[in-house]
Amino acid sequence: MSREAVADALAASDHAVALTGAGTSTASGVPDFRSEDGLYNEFDQSDITIGRFQRDPGGFWRDWTAIHAELFEDDPVRPNPAHDALADLERADILDAVVTQNVDGLHEAAGSESVVHLHGTAATSTCRNCNRTVDTTGAVDGLDETDYPPHCDECGGVLKPDTVLFGEQMPLDAMREGRRLAEETDVMLAVGSSLMVDPAARLPRIAGRGDATLVIVNLDETPVDRLADYVLREPVEEALPAIAERAIAER
Ligand SMILES: [Zn+2]
């Protein structure tokens, strides 16, 4: 069974790393932007570009909070067993880090501490004027849409979500750290990612070129499957807890 073999490889690893994409959060109710019923069919990408933010920050924030509504509701989305399993693996000293394409903050909510955000995070926003970073939920809480955009309490500057917007440069530090982890890892778990968007798509290729054991857990085929040692076409929220439990017991 692949699950057992993957767990054995993790238990024996020195530097395991997970790379996660939207499929890791779908069981939490966060829509997959790229899937067929994904949000990008409902919303126009041009509404949430950096150019739109600069031209029309109020309109941008109205559309952006509508897209991410599930993160800012009174009863926001919660981590699922896949997030929990990755946090457990880090606590057991098996996983060095999670590199994620997701902006939903659910890895941190599950207890993961070493998280590299390739596409930024929606959980915080930063003042364009003084660079102060605040909790996004707190910034929009109690604001009527007509009051958008939210402003900095300190200086009154406009806040921008720390998510990487379309047209905006990827965070160099995160890309560098992701690459370093991919070069150093001996077991990479690529979880719930279509592996079609750079820079995330590059990381399993880097790991796969070396001696690392490359594991892909994803319901759909990915362009990197042929490089993988194990491909598990299973729901991530079922496969990861089983793998983590066995790996931690063996450690
Ligand atoms: Zn400010």
Measure 125 CA to ligand 1 centroid, in angstroms.
11
Which residues lie across from 120 on neighbouring strands? Answer: 163
Whats the size of the chain, residue-wise? 251
Residue 120 CA: distances (Å) to CA of 12, 16, 101, 124, 172: 31, 22, 8, 9, 11
**DSSP string for residues in 207-244:** HHHTTPEEEEE-SS--TTGGG-SEEE-S-HHHHHHHHH
Query: Per the structure block, which two tokens stand in for 176?
Result: 């560098």
Measure 158 CA to ligand 1 centroid, in angstroms.
7
Spatial separation of the C-alpha atoms in residues 56 and 213, rounded to whole Å: 47
Report the largest interatomic distance among the alpha carbons of the chain, rounded to a whole angstrom: 58
Measure 133 CA to ligand 1 centroid, in angstroms.
8
Which residue is catalytic, options 68, 107, 119, 151?
A: 119
What residue ranges of the chain have pLDDT lower than 50?
36-38
Query: Per the structure block, which two tokens stand in for 185?
Result: 């890892």
| Secondary structure (3-state) at 162 | strand
Residues with CB under 5 A from ligand 1 (ion): 127, 129-130, 132, 152, 154-155, 157
How do the residues of the chain divide into helix, strand and coil, expressed in percent and rounded to 5?
45, 20, 40
Measure 72 CA to ligand 1 centroid, in angstroms.
22
Q: Encode pLDDT of 224-236 as tens digits.
A: 999 999 999 999 9
Query: What is the reported pTM?
Result: 0.91
Measure 152 CA to ligand 1 centroid, in angstroms.
5
* pLDDT value for 37: 47
Measure 69 CA to ligand 1 centroid, in angstroms.
24
Q: Are 116 and 85 in contact (CB under 8 A)?
A: no
Closest CA to 64 of 145, 134, 128: 145
Measure 136 CA to ligand 1 centroid, in angstroms.
14
Measure 134 CA to ligand 1 centroid, in angstroms.
10
Measure 130 CA to ligand 1 centroid, in angstroms.
4
Query: Per the structure block, which two tokens stand in for 227?
Result: 């490089």
Q: Are strands 115-117 and 95-100 parallel, antiparallel or unpaired?
A: parallel
Q: Are 243 and 230 in contact (CB under 8 A)?
A: no
Please indicate whether residue 119 is annotated as part of the active site: yes
* pLDDT value for 44: 72
